[in-house]
Structure 1
Amino acid sequence: MASLIEKDGEPPSSSPTAEQKVPSSDITRDAEKQFDINEKALLRKLDWKLLPPLTLLYLLSFLDRSNVGNAKLEGLTEDVKMTGDQYLTGLTLYFIGYVLFEIPCNIILKRTTPRLWLPTITLFWGIVATLLGVVHNYAGYLVSRFFLGVTESGLFPGVVFYLSMWYKRNEQHFRISLFFSAASLAGAFGGVLAWGIGHMKNVGGYQGWRWIFILEGLFTVLVSAISYFLVYNYPATAEFLTEKEREFIQFRLKYDSDATIDEGFTWTAVLNAFKDPKVWLYGLGFHTVSLPLYTLSLFLPTIISGLGYSSASAQLLSVPPYAVAFVLVVTVAILSERTHRRAPFIMATSALGIIGYIILLSAPSPGSSYVGIIFAAAGIYPSTAIVLSWPANNVSGQTKRAVANAMQISIGNLGAVMGTQLYRSEWSPRYFVGHGVALAYLAANIAVTGTLWLVLNRENKKKEEIRRSQGISPLEEVGAAEGAFLGDEDPRWVFQT
């Protein structure tokens, strides 16, 4: 695909050369005039075309993995004849399947196409989620939960990589946060849906908890079929773009990231991700929020019910904490994007979550405990959104980034594996162990984030010294600069902190 600076084989007169080192804002304005394209209008077009279907897929993914908590209140454990500890084993198996298959799934995405891969895995997990509604024994429950984790594992890391191929680095965080906000929306919708579907007791001879899985799973299958037409591949082939829009997108990415570099798959790039200490720190960053995130989403109805509320009331009372979390996710994402800062917002929102767990551990009444739940959700979800977008901003080399995104989720969800065992029925209703470990994990998140912040700042200073000594410009010209590009080890690549 011809780019602005290569159109018709001749550099246009308005195009800057690498030696001119024109600021990227000036370059973009020149390109807008050249192609008669409004950048803000084009971004809105991308947002409306790309984000709604992807966000819907993640909403369904989070709904299908966490609705087991709602089903438990409607009689799942009694009908399948399993103990509370056996129920927790099923939750654990989900995350084991998830962790094992995330990196293979992102490698498959890199070697196929988003339009083929993302709807297909949605179809698979929709089928598994539906079958959860017809299990009749403990073995069926365990197998279903494991394969639900396997089939859902490719969505989030795949979409994070996918968006990095469309948007400039500082634009990605807000979009990934909007995408992740579907998790909080799923919690809110899940409570309302479970309350309504729970009234379908004995319809067709099935208990209400079965209908929760069946109806929500079938809806996922329906959406997967439609999403084959709604998910696009990459800018060079997207049907909704004009030729000029494609060239303009390629141009703006060329001066910001590695998205326009024609990089084939190599196992060396895969190994580079495993050898980079920063990738492991990104993983630990998610690990330390994953445990609080998933224990809250999986056990929230049970926690609220333990405060003395009926099952129906607990389903509905799970909605407000998620609604508050959704507002905070979007608000913090906007502030983070405008300030070009990640670490301070992660640390601040994790501290907010810590306040919530302190209230839960010390609260003497159901009302004050409920306030603690709201604080916990309001801190966990925005912190997680920023953590998950960080490697997409900072890891360069397309294959390395795809693997790094998957590694982050895999390492992170090991925290969820442990978290599924922390809210045992014998520790009800105060759940001191679960709340205490979640609090400790959020404190660890602040420590990990602070460490990564220092590491990135130190590497940025080293790169600045190299650029100054060699007289080269920063990342703004990386895609157009002469010579080989060394990925995130290149002195022109500036880490976002």
Structure 2
Amino acid sequence: MEAQNAAKEIFDEKCEIASDEESWSAEEEACVRRQLDWRLLPLLAVLYMLCFMDRWVRGKHLNARIQGMQKDLDLAGFRFNWALTAFYIPFLLIEIPSNILLKRIVPAIIVAFGIVSIGTAFVKDFQQLCVARAFLGLAEGGTMPGMAFFMSCFYRRAELLFRVGLLASAGSLAGAFGGFLATALSRIPEWGVKGSEVHTWRNIFFFEGIITFGIGILAYFLMPESPQKCMFLSERQRWIAAERMRIEHKELTSEKTELWHVKRAIFNINNVICCMGFFFCNITVQSFSLFLPTILSALGWRATKAQLLTVPPYIVACCFSLAIARLSDRYRRRGILVLFCSMLTLTGYAILASVDEANIKYMAVFFASSGSFPLGVTFLSWGLNNAAGPSIRAVTGGYIVSIGTCGALVATWTYVPADAPRYVRGHSINLGIIPLPITISFRANGF
């Protein structure tokens, strides 16, 4: 009798799921998904762009450097590189715990970015700059996990990959907007009380911090807590959005994450290979983002022109990243795309390391940016698509991103003041790293 009752419960549960799935048409679900895309993705993209600009990596920090920060704060020798490194140490330490603790505090994180940025406008020396960078790392470490968790409340697992790729592309757009904003804000006349004047590079931090703070407050009211609270959907659409996620989570909760899932994800040879690929790619991406304004200003262009010239490479890189993400998602072919992007990056850095003419070097910057930015997301999706089961897949995503982020620490030391103005050593380091993802992609094809 107990066996019959158990069988009946299982049958009823399956019937309930089947009934739920047949309660709306594919067209209705597609309409709900489009509505979510139009209302959530632009907001998340803006927040992620602010994240990158307020960590100063893509926009302000390097643009501020060529607007007088290096002189005002006495960033002689390796101090500039140490200031960059100060961000990534707390960033790495907080990233893994944030995956466990974060629920829905993305707007609060953005507000924290803004506050730290505003405070940075008033730093007086190298030590204060490093402290500000460290606090920014603490805040920024939870951004991507928080956004990923938020998106997982509205999208099925199969729908997440391309949308996460869209957010990653927004990071490259941040470089473009950072260049425009830095140019405009640095021209604001000096203001403030005596002894705490705000001018040139300080204006960049202060006003971008104000913008970030305001948008963070606004996001608190614009980001719905759950599908049931999406007021931009009709009552039936809210029900569909909630039910499809209930079914998705009901199917996934049958597998609980256990220690063997963690071990299998960490020691799986395919995941190890993808971690290595992400690590080496991230060195190239982060060194490009960290030092592009410095490299361009060393070519002889004045500060304002160097800032504006950082914009087009980032825009092209964003469009290229979207195209690669779409091709990767549609054809499920990662290796050939890694090979193509790596060869494009290889060409760019080969020209940068061997040619002195400024315009040709600027052309090479487009090759380097377009090829390097899509690589990290490609290795991440490669690892996720080959992970067996939701629990292992969840561990795999955090594992690959955490190891890959370590590449940023290496990137902060690829371009040092002693190598100016040609930076042959930095270009050569990136040139030597690029063949490694190519080798890794061929190796991954064997597993």
Change over 3 Å in CA distance of 1:159–1:404 after alignment to 2: farther
Contact 1:359–1:372 (CA under 8 A) maintained in structure 2: yes
Maintained 8 Å contact 1:232/1:238: yes
- What residue in structure 1 maps to residue 253 of structure 2? 262
- Report the CA distance shift for 1:276/1:235 in structure 2 as closer, same or farther (over 3 A): farther
2:413 counterpart (421, 446, 457): 421
- Match of residue 68, structure 2, among 50, 71, 75: 75
Distance 2:264 2:441 in 1: 22
| Whole-angstrom CA distance in 2 between matches of 1:7 and 1:225 | 48
Instruction: Say yes or no: does 1:58 pair with 2:48.
Output: yes
**Aligned letter for 1:193?**
L
Residues of 2 paired with 1:229 and 1:260: CA distance?
31
**1:441-489, CA deviations, whole angstroms, 9 ceiling, x for partnerless residues?**
222122223333332xxxxxxxxxxxxxxxxxxxxxxxxxxxxxxxxxx
Percent of counterpart pairs with the same letter? Answer: 35
Q: Deviations over 1:180-237 (max 9, x none)?
A: 1111111111111111111125233222111111111222221221222233345466
Residue 411 of structure 1 deviates from its aligned partner by 1.2
Matching residue of 2:379: 387
Are 1:296 and 2:288 matched, yes or no? Answer: yes
Cα distance in 1 for residues equivalent to 2:225 and 2:443: 36
Match of 2:29 among 32, 35, 39: 39
Q: CA RMSD in A?
A: 3.1
1: CA distance, partners of 2:142 / 2:222: 18
CA offsets 1:367-405 (integer angstroms, 9 cap, x no match): 110010011011111223333444454546656544433
Q: Is the 8 A contact 1:289 1:384 kept in 2?
A: yes
| Aligned match of 2:223 | 231
Counterparts of 2:385 and 2:226, CA distance in 1:
18
Contact kept in structure 1, 2:35 and 2:233, CA below 8 Å: no
| Cα distance per residue 1:113-146 (max 9 Å; x no partner) | 22xx222222222222221111101111111111
Query: Cα gap change, 1:403/1:235 in structure 2, threshold over 3 Å: closer, same or farther?
Result: farther
Equivalences for residues 29-178 of structure 1 within 5 A: 32-33=24-25, 37-65=27-55, 66=57, 67-109=60-102, 113-114=103-104, 117-164=105-152, 166-178=154-166
Partners of 1:391 and 1:349 lie apart in 2 by 18
- Return 5+ residue gaps in structure 1 as ranges: 1-5, 17-26, 456-497
More divergent stretch after superposition (219-228 vs 363-372) = 219-228
Shift of 1:62: 0.8
Asked whether the 8 Å contact 1:131–1:214 carries over to 2, the reply is yes
Greater Cα shift, 440-449 or 368-377: 440-449
For 2:130, give the aligned amino acid.
L
Aligned residue type for 1:287: F
Distance 1:421 1:432, change over 3 A: same
Q: Which position in structure 2 is the counterpart of 1:319?
A: 311
In the TM superposition, 1:217-366 aligns within 5 A as 217-235=209-227, 240=232, 244-245=236-237, 248=240, 260-262=251-253, 268=259, 273-366=265-358
Deviates more, 1:273-282 or 1:193-202: 273-282
The 1:420–1:451 alpha-carbon spacing in structure 2 relative to 1, beyond 3 Å, is same
Q: How far is the alpha carbon of 1:82 from its aligned partner? A: 2.4
Partner deviation per Cα, 1:231-254 (whole Å, 9 max, x = no partner): 334546655556654665577678
Secondary structure class of the residue paired with 1:38: helix
Distance 1:54 1:7 in 2: 40
User: 1:53 and 1:401, CA in 2 relative to 1: closer, same or farther beyond 3 A?
Assistant: farther
Change (3 A) 1:285 1:188: same
Report the Cα distance in structure 1 between the residues aligned to 2:63 and 2:224, rounded to whole angstroms. 34
Residue among 158, 170, 178 paired with 1:182: 170
Q: 210, 216, 230: which one pairs with 2:202?
A: 210
CA distance in 2, matches of 1:186, 1:241: 30
Q: What is the distance in 1 between the residues matched to 2:445 and 2:127?
A: 45
Question: Could you say if the C-alpha distance between residues 391 and 61 of structure 1 is closer, same or farther in structure 2, counting changes exceeding 3 Å?
Answer: farther
Equivalent pair of 2:274/2:383 in contact (CA under 8 Å): yes
Q: Which runs of 5+ in 2 are unaligned?
A: 1-9
Go from structure 1 to structure 2 and tell me whether the alpha carbon gap of 1:236 and 1:206 turns closer, same or farther (over 3 Å shift).
closer
CA separation in 1, counterparts of 2:237 and 2:294? 50
The amino acid that maps onto 1:90 is: A
- Give the Cα–Cα distance (whole angstroms) in 1 for the partners of residues 383 and 206 of structure 2: 36
- Say if 2:278 and 2:375, in contact at 8 Å, map to a contact too: no
TM-score of the aligned structures, taking structure 2 as reference length: 0.86
Matches within 5 A, 1:467-482: none
Q: Is the 8 A contact 1:157 1:409 kept in 2?
A: no
Structure 2 equivalent of residue 376 of structure 1: 368
Pick one of 419, 438, 444 that aligns with 1:446: 438
| 1:10–1:102 CA distance, 2 compared to 1 (3 A) | closer
CA contact (8 A) 2:169 2:321 kept: yes
Asked if structure 2 preserves the Cα contact closer than 8 Å seen for 1:356 and 1:374, the reply is: yes
- Distance of 2:342 and 2:239 partners within structure 1: 41
CA displacement 1:58-113 (0-9 Å, x = unmatched): 1001111222101100111211122141111010121112111111011112xxx2
Cα distance in structure 2, aligned partners of 1:299 and 1:199: 22
Q: Which moved more, 1:204-213 or 1:333-342?
A: 333-342
Query: Do 1:160 and 1:389's aligned partners in 2 also have CA atoms closer than 8 Å?
Result: no
Q: Compute the displacement of 1:8 (Å).
A: 9.5
C-alpha contact 1:84 1:425 (8 A) present in aligned 2: yes
SS in 1 for 2:252: coil
Match of residue 20 from structure 1 = none
Cα gap change, 1:270 to 1:10, in 2 (>3 Å): closer
